[in-house]
Amino acid sequence: MERIESWFATQPFTLAFVIGTYLAAVWLYRKTRLAVLHPVLTTIAVIIAVLSLLNVPYDDFKQGSALIDFMLGPSVVALGYALHEQVSHIRKHLWSMITAIVTGSALGIISVGLIARWMGANEAIVASLEPKSVTNPIAISIAERFGGIPPLTAVIVVMVGVFGGIVGPFILQKMGIESKIAKGLAMGSAAHGLGTARAIEMGAIEGAISGLAIGLMGLATALLVPLIRLLFNA
């Protein structure tokens, strides 16, 4: 009899499992409206729990979820449509957005580096933490370039996204932030993918600006990390 864990190596089963889990998580979130039960977060938790319980090898799950992995690219490109719809808002606030992104990226890189070094972390840990605020593919590339630990970077990026996606809207509300541009920029630049998912729930402008912020933050971080490391190691 074929073992159930081997089913995860087949795309139809894995696609049905992931999509079914996500749809169930969406239903639960709509019923409760609790931020900690956001569909993306719940789906990740359930998938990890099931794979761990059944001892499913990661390579099998990766093989079965190849189509989902492939669709990550087109899904990011699809954000361009939302950006096109909000191009008038982007043009009016472009320079202020760029200034905010560059400033936020620099402060984020410097602060996490200083805190990590103050707590005794070695350079590999520091390099793994510096790109924490950008989406995983960019963060992993930056960490690898400067001797970081890619798996650690991946985990940190996910944790930052989850934390920002959950508490970001609450913090913005408590601080009295009303600007849709500011909300989208904050969510996308601080919490990348999950932050953008929450921003889309806030509104079309917030979602579009958040998607733009992911790209801008990635570009700014990729350019600033080597400059800041050069400055501190000079």
Residues 6+ apart with CB under 8 A from 7: 13, 14, 64
What percent of the chain is predicted at pLDDT more than 70?
Answer: 91
Residues 6+ apart with CB under 8 A from 216: 97, 98, 101, 189
Residue 98 burial (CB count, 10 A)? 13
- Map tokens 């408590």 to a residue: 174
Does residue 89 register a pLDDT over 80? no
Across the range 78-88, mean pLDDT stands at 68
* Digit-coded pLDDT (tens) for 166-192: 888 888 888 888 888 888 888 888 888
pLDDT band at 1 (very low <50, low <70, confident <90, very high): very low
If 0-12 CB within 10 Å is exposed, 13-18 middle and 19+ buried, where does residue 81 land? Answer: exposed
C-alpha distances in Å from residue 121, one per residue of 116, 136, 142, 177: 5, 22, 18, 35
* Digit-coded pLDDT (tens) for 116-145: 889 988 889 988 998 888 887 788 888 888
Does residue 55 register a pLDDT over 80? yes
Domain ranges of the chain: 4-64, 78-232
Higher pLDDT, 125 or 200: 125
What percent of the chain is predicted at pLDDT more than 90?
Answer: 9
pLDDT band at 205 (very low <50, low <70, confident <90, very high): confident
**Token representation of residue 39:** 């569909």
C-alpha distances in Å from residue 146, one per residue of 103, 123, 128: 22, 9, 8
pLDDT of residue 19: 92
Nearest in space to 161 (alpha carbons), one of 137, 189, 195:
195
Convert 181-196 into a string of H (helix), E (strand) and C (coil).
HHHHHHHHHHHHHHHH
Across the range 25-36, mean pLDDT stands at 86
Quote the CA–CA distance of 108 and 104 in Å, as a whole number: 6
